[in-house]
Amino acid sequence: MIDYSRSCYHRKGMFEFWVLNHEDFNPEYFTDKKTNRMIYPIRAKENGFYIEIDKYKGFFMANYKEIHNSYNSKFIKACRNMTYSKFKDSLSIQLSNMFKPLDTNITKLKIGFWVDLKMDVRTFLNTHLILHNFSYYNLNKLPGKKKDFIEFKYDEYSIELSTCTSKSSSKNKRGKMKIIWNIEDKNQFKLSNPLNISELFNEEVLRVLFDGYIKKFNELIIIDKSKIVLIPDLKEKELMLEYRAYGYWKSLNKYKRYRNKKKFLELVKKYELDSINVNIKNSLIKEFSNFINN
């Protein structure tokens, strides 16, 4: 569930001193040739841990699958979800390798699950209309490019749908799709207090984060374009063909957009054009249950 976290230190100077004098980290930085003073940023990495310190802030990042695979002989294979027990093991390792973890707040999180689409994900990304709040994805939209992912990127967060790109990917893994909510702003957590890394042990905190994840997924509209041509009413079919055209929704003013959104959603519901949304959502809920109970 939690792929990645970034924690920001309240007392950057103490953290910087610890990093520069810690034997397990080999920090990298440049120095001014004239003054011999250190030039920011300072960077370090070790077994799934990443450190970055600039002039004003110090960050400790963790990739949980990488941590697990660095400290265990039994690897979590590509395109598979972690379990709660393995995540907690990785989290414990992180806390034991951090300088005063309680002196931090989480500022970034990446939450994601692999689901089985039962179809080739590249084909899915090319044959389905995928919108987020009636906006088009804004990364990897080059015409004719094979789509390994699409991403809706905003200042506070991004939503990504991606394929399994492991070199060892077999045919059954071509149906694996990952849905990621990449949180760039701590206000997206929707928690009453700042979030500390140690709180990720708390199942209730994870449930709150998963609820936010599902809400973001519910904002996606995913429609099989091939179903549109099967609409029996010619006028309604022509409307949907117009609605699905790339750039259509962006071209409208807010008044026409509002009216046409209402008609669009009526037709989607009438002809069950977004049935795959329900299937994917159910798969995500199932994967969260598998995560929390293992």
Q: What's the average model confidence in pLDDT over 129-156?
A: 77
On whether residue 260 sits in a domain, the answer given is no
pLDDT of residue 14: 95
Q: Is the pLDDT of residue 146 over 60?
A: no
On whether residue 257 sits in a domain, the answer given is no
Distance CA 13, CA 20 (A): 11
Distance CA 182, CA 42 (A): 24
Neighbours of 160 (CB within 10 A): 19
Look at residue 282 and give its three-state secondary structure: helix
Q: Is the pLDDT of residue 104 over 90?
A: yes
Q: How many domains are there within the chain?
A: 1
Confidence of residue 7 (pLDDT cuts 50, 70, 90): very high
Confidence of residue 140 (pLDDT cuts 50, 70, 90): low
Q: Is the pLDDT of residue 141 over 60?
A: no
On whether residue 255 sits in a domain, the answer given is no
On whether residue 245 sits in a domain, the answer given is no
On whether residue 256 sits in a domain, the answer given is no
Continuous H helices in 53-120: 64-71, 84-97
Q: Is the pLDDT of residue 222 over 90?
A: yes
pLDDT of residue 90: 96
On whether residue 254 sits in a domain, the answer given is no
Q: Is the pLDDT of residue 5 over 80?
A: yes
pLDDT of residue 186: 85
Q: What is the tens place of the pLDDT at every residue in 227-276? A: 999 999 999 999 999 998 888 888 888 899 999 999 999 999 999 998 89
The tokens describing 6, both together, are 């970034």
Instruction: Compute the mean pLDDT over every residue in the chain, rounded to the nearest whole number.
Output: 90
On whether residue 217 sits in a domain, the answer given is yes
Q: Is the pLDDT of residue 188 over 70?
A: yes
Q: What is the tens place of the pLDDT at every residue in 60-96? A: 999 999 999 999 888 888 889 999 999 999 999 999 9
Range of the domain at 163: 2-231+271-292
Distance of CA 125 to the CA centre of its chain: 17
pLDDT of residue 145: 52
Look at residue 47 and give its three-state secondary structure: coil
On whether residue 55 sits in a domain, the answer given is yes
Distance of CA 10 to the CA centre of its chain: 26
